[in-house]
Amino acid sequence: MRIDIITIFPDMLKNTLDESIMRRAIGLGLVEVNIIDLRDYSLSKHKKVDDTPYGGGAGMLLQFPPLYEALQAIKQANTKVLITSPRGKTFNQQMAESLSQLEHIVILAGHYEGFDERIYHFVDEEVSVGDFVLTGGEIPALLITDAVVRLLDDVIKKESHENDSFSNGLLEHPHYTKPATYQGFDVPEVLKNGNHKEIDQWRHYEALKQTYMKRPDLLKDYPLTKQDLKWLEQIKKELGETK
């Protein structure tokens, strides 16, 4: 996979991409991530890429010509162009999984008041990372890149992300590590007994519990089994809830 991020602040991205799992994935050739400075495509000798909006108003807009030229230079037949925008579809795990199947993604990272509207003729999808506004699209671009790259083959163990929160429709179950006891806080016995069937049942029960307590809206679309419904009633009793 290849991911190209077009930005006017390349240094904001470089440090993050040179750390942790992202650095390893790039180093092993599992993904190619290119940071493209929009100013390299400016038509101005002073490398200007923004200007005031027609009709007046506060702030500056990224100009259409540099964006157009940048896309023309890097876009291929298999390219999907994303643009970070508060008015876009909210990014989630399912979108990350879908994007991870592609060969080439271009992310336009906005800044200032946004983009000249004409660039949207060349954009496949607008993506938002939440109902709030940031100073620029660099952080969302990194967020999208990180979420997608970790799903690629051999970046991390497959089982590590198959049970992630949202991957199977529920929040993730609790995790514990050594020591088994510390300051009166113990690891649940079921996780130490070696019975994998019981461990799997406990994890699913706890995932249901976490989801019910913290994101009950997710259960509306989750295919609850008869056992799940019984466990939910038990969870309500544990929490002191009554019908």
Residue 110, amino acid: G
Question: Strand 104-108 vs strand 2-7: parallel, antiparallel, or unpaired?
Answer: parallel
List domains and CATH numbers for the chain. Answer: 2-158 (3.40.1280.10), 181-238 (1.10.1270.20)
116, 140, 150, 206: which is the annotated catalytic residue? 150
Q: How far is CA 66 from CA 8, 70, 72, in A?
A: 11, 6, 10
Q: What is the pLDDT of residue 32?
A: 97
164, 172, 203, 228: which is the annotated catalytic residue? 164
Q: What is the pLDDT of residue 243?
A: 57
Whether 164 is a known active-site residue: answer yes
What is the distance in angstroms between the CA of the first residue and the CA of the last residue of the chain? 51
Whether 138 is a known active-site residue: answer no
69, 113, 146, 172: which is the annotated catalytic residue? 113
Q: Tens digits of per-residue pLDDT, 20-35?
A: 899 999 999 999 999 9
How far is residue 231's CA from residue 225's CA, in Å, rounded to a whole number? 10
Q: Tens digits of per-residue pLDDT, 205-231?
A: 999 999 999 999 999 989 999 999 999
Q: Is the pLDDT of residue 203 over 60?
A: yes
With a pLDDT cut of 70, the percent of the chain lying above it is: 95
Q: Tens digits of per-residue pLDDT, 86-141?
A: 889 999 999 999 999 999 999 999 887 789 999 999 999 999 999 988 889 999 99
Residues 11-17, mean pLDDT to the nearest whole number: 90
pTM: 0.81
Q: What is the pLDDT of residue 133?
A: 84
Q: What is the pLDDT of residue 222?
A: 92
37, 39, 86, 126: which is the annotated catalytic residue? 86
The label of the residue with tokens 């993506």 reads 127
Q: Do residues 50 and 63 lie in contact, with contact meaning Cβ atoms separated by under 8 Å?
A: yes
Whether 206 is a known active-site residue: answer no
Q: What is the pLDDT of residue 137?
A: 93
Question: Of 80, 110, 108, which Cα lies nearest the Cα of 95?
Answer: 80
Whether 23 is a known active-site residue: answer no
Q: Do residues 140 and 109 lie in contact, with contact meaning Cβ atoms separated by under 8 Å?
A: yes
